[in-house]
């Protein structure tokens, strides 16, 4: 069964345009340093799952693309790189702490901004809108996925 996810990326790190310019429009989702988000990648994400590509920490946060999970979870190499902002001295190559999945962008969309998401009565329970939710990866209910695709004028995957 296909699952759906919202994955946040700061456009200064990896934007939807950066992903589209990458080979096969696919990028490794590096830098996740929250155990719950890591566990989503490790335990629940599967190749082909739908992804809402969300720009965060920018002037107009919102959903900017439709993507899919393109790989199973594997080791995030940035945890071992002392020059990376995601370096984790406690993580060891024989027991890596942090994982990533590869994400392939399928469609760049108009920006469905946070205020537009909040104003949509059909999306009130979307996890990214919940007060205090700061996770970079959250599950998306099928009804929310279909509503968002409809609002963006994108055919379902």
Residues 6+ apart with CB under 8 A from 40: 5, 137, 138, 139
Question: Measured between alpha carbons, how far is 65 from 15 in angstroms, rounded to an integer?
Answer: 10
pLDDT at 123: 97
Which tokens sit at 88?
């984790």
pLDDT at 134: 87
pLDDT at 119: 97
pLDDT at 156: 74
Domain ranges within the chain, ordered by starting residue: 4-152
- Where b means 16+ CB within 10 Å and e means fewer, 5-28 reads bbbbbebeebbbeebbebeebbbb
The fourth-level CATH superfamily of domain 4-152 is: ph1033 like domains (3.10.590.10)
β-pair type (4-9, 50-55): parallel
pLDDT at 17: 98
* Average pLDDT by stretches of 10, the chain with 157 residues: 94 97 97 97 98 97 98 98 97 97 97 97 95 93 97 86
């Amino acid at each position: 069964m296909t699952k759906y996810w919202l994955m946040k990326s700061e456009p200064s790190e990896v934007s939807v345009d950066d992903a589209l310019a990458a080979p096969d429009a696919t990028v490794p989702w590096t830098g996740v340093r929250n155990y719950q988000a890591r566990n989503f990648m490790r335990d629940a994400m599967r190749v082909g799952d739908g992804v809402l590509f969300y720009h965060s920490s920018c002037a107009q946060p919102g959903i900017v693309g439709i993507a899919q999970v393109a790989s199973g979870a594997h080791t995030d190499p940035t945890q071992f790189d002392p020059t990376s902002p995601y370096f984790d001295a406690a993580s060891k190559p024989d027991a890596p702490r942090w994982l990533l999945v590869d994400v392939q962008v399928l469609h760049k969309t108009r920006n469905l901004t946070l205020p537009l998401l909040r104003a949509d009565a059909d999306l009130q329970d979307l996890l990214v809108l919940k007060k205090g939710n700061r996770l970079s990866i959250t599950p998306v209910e099928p009804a929310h996925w279909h509503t968002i695709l409809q609002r963006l004028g994108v055919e379902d995957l």
